Chain A
């Protein structure tokens, strides 16, 4: 569950648009050290699909993608 994860940094990007959603997420996770978790808040379906998929392809571990409201997704990613 998301609550048990020790979140190191949180990004609020609900009102942000592409490419900023991915750019900010990528830069933020690269500032963490291996094993630390970044929590990203996203506000639209494109970002909720593209951001986790792209971070996964960068080699990071996507722990959860939770849709907590109809247009609010929370993504937890562990730095590789």
Chain B
């Protein structure tokens, strides 16, 4: 039953990710490099749905979300490392999973790297690094380490006040969006709605199993590896089946659109994507989550570790993108100079 529900959720999510081209690496990068905010808007819509949904269901007594302790050094370092890794890997954790389904071989290399990186740092040889960085926690008030705990807000009306103001500001920004041009696949509205509902469904599904944490990719990846490689099924949950469903759902969406094609990047890029995947795995295991576990699920509880991790994932993404931009620029200027020199010398001999 749990397996079927997990696979079904993964299929739907993978389908939505592929149709919407929902890569959070692209969303985070766009603040820095591009003027297009479409995927940022989709992410904000996902957050509005989940912050309101999770708070409401918690107040109703249906959910009691697990909030990570505020291990700030792990969140800062792990988040930054993850952010750098996802740029080099050519996609975030969820982005890598769905692109595997479409047949992008570089993303398959990145996924293998991600599996290795998470296994190394969460239960493997690098576990002391994870545990060491996580041992520094900052106590936040009496309750959970959330924004409300930090601000000392306990009254329900005050919490809802903060949430509704945040949602109103975000909603106003979304409502004033320009029309999305050059659309291939789903609009940001539809993508945000479907990914948002899938993330919320994951909360309900995990509550049914008593795990009380929503959509995530890092923990289920580790759990699946431990089961497949080591025979330890203790971490297996609906989420482990969900991560299997994602590439399959993405494959079906791509197949229907004629886009499921095996694509091989040049060998250098292939190796870099593998290295990016390992880096991403290290970061996610140190920070206790990826762009989904922290930047969607953790942020729906307004958890501090999730917020700090997300900020540093974004910073890592910007730094890596900036480096790539400068390298490519230098490379192109060099080519241009060579071409000019060629023309100049050619002119003399003729």
Q: 0/1 per residue, A42-71, Cβ < 8 Å to B? A: 011110111011101110001001000011
Contact in complex: B263, A49 (CB < 8 Å): no
Decide if A15 is an interface residue (CB 8 Å cutoff): yes
CA distance A58 to B107 in the complex (A): 29
Contact in complex: B91, A17 (CB < 8 Å): yes
Q: Most chain-B Cβ atoms within 10 A of its Cβ — which of A17, A20, A56, A73?
A: A17
Contact in complex: A16, B261 (CB < 8 Å): no
Decide if B259 is an interface residue (CB 8 Å cutoff): yes
Decide if B135 is an interface residue (CB 8 Å cutoff): no
CA distance A76 to B10 in the complex (A): 37
Q: Which residues of A contact B264 (CB under 8 A)?
A: 15
- Supposing A31-B336, A50-B34, A71-B259 touch, asked if A15 and B87 sit within 8 A by C-beta, the answer is no
**Quick check: which of B21-29, B119-127, B303-311 contacts chain A, the rest being far away?**
B21-29
Q: 0/1 per residue, A21-35, Cβ < 8 Å to B? A: 011100110010000
CA distance A50 to B257 in the complex (A): 18
Which single member of B38, B185, B328 contacts A20 (CB below 8 Å)?
B328
Decide if B329 is an interface residue (CB 8 Å cutoff): yes
CA distance A45 to B184 in the complex (A): 6
Decide if B180 is an interface residue (CB 8 Å cutoff): yes
Contact in complex: B33, A14 (CB < 8 Å): no
Contact in complex: B266, A15 (CB < 8 Å): yes
Q: Which residues of A contact B25 (CB under 8 A)?
A: 18
CA distance A49 to B90 in the complex (A): 17
Which single member of B21, B265, B325, B332 contacts A50 (CB below 8 Å)?
B21
By a beta-carbon cutoff of 8 Å, the part of chain B in contact with chain A is 21, 23, 25-26, 29, 33-36, 38, 87, 90-91, 102, 104, 106-107, 180-185, 257-259, 261, 263-266, 269, 273, 321, 324-325, 328-329, 332, 336
A/B interface sample: 11 pairs, CB < 8 A: A15-B264, A15-B266, A17-B90, A19-B29, A20-B324, A53-B38, A53-B182, A56-B181, A57-B36, A70-B259, A71-B263
- For the complex of A and B, list the 5 residue pairs with the smallest distance between their C-beta atoms, beginning with the closest: A70-B258, A17-B90, A46-B21, A57-B35, A49-B184
